[in-house]
């Protein structure tokens, strides 16, 4: 079946540090890949996406590149801020079949950034 695996958390960083959150996936077919962010007490917000191999998604200083050869979609940011503290979810969706449009999520990674 389809699945997403994220790096174990929580991740604790100082402000302006470099961030990497690893994400790998297993899918039958060619998925679209997403990163969502969830702030306390809120729903999920789409952070960035990539729809095919070698695509790079970017938003608000965050980046992730769709690597088909390593089935990965790692999230990076060069300099984190306290306001980036949240839970980050990697997800995939597939076109076609019974999985059409369904998002499959990883378990989430808690990020805490200290001043």
Partner 1 sequence: DAGVTQSPTHLIKTRGQHVTLRCSPISGHKSVSWYQQVLGQGPQFIFQYYEKEERGRGNFPDRFSARQFPNYSSELNVNALLLGDSALYLCASSWGQGNQPQHFGDGTRLSIL
Length of the chain as a residue count: 115
| Pairing of the two strands 11-14 and 109-114 | parallel
C-alpha span between 1 and 72 (Å, rounded): 17
CA-based max dimension of the chain = 47
Cβ-based nearer residue to partner 1, 15 or 102: 102
Does 106 contact partner 1 by CB under 8 A?
yes
Does 40 contact partner 1 by CB under 8 A?
no
Does 108 contact partner 1 by CB under 8 A?
yes
C-alpha span between 45 and 53 (Å, rounded): 23
Residue from 43, 69, 70, 115 binding partner 1 (CB under 8 A): 43
Cβ-in-10-Å burial (0-12, 13-18, 19+) of 5 comes to: middle
Site for partner 1 in 82-101 (CB under 8 A): 89, 91, 93-95, 98-101
Site for partner 1 in 5-34 (CB under 8 A): 32, 34
Applying CB under 8 A, which residues contact partner 1?
Answer: 4, 32, 34, 36, 41-46, 49, 51, 89, 91, 93-95, 98-108
């Amino acid at each position: 079946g389809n699945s997403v695996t994220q790096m174990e958390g929580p991740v604790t960083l100082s402000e302006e540090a470099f961030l990497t959150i690893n994400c790998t996936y297993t899918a039958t077919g060619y998925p679209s890949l997403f990163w969502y962010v969830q702030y306390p007490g809120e729903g999920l917000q789409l952070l960035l996406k990539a729809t095919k191999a070698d695509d790079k998604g970017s938003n608000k200083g965050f980046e992730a590149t769709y690597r088909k050869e390593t089935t990965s979609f790692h999230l990076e940011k060069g300099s984190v801020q306290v306001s980036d503290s949240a839970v980050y979810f990697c997800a995939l969706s597939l076109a076609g079949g019974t999985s059409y449009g369904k998002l499959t999520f990883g378990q989430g990674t808690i990020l805490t950034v200290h001043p």
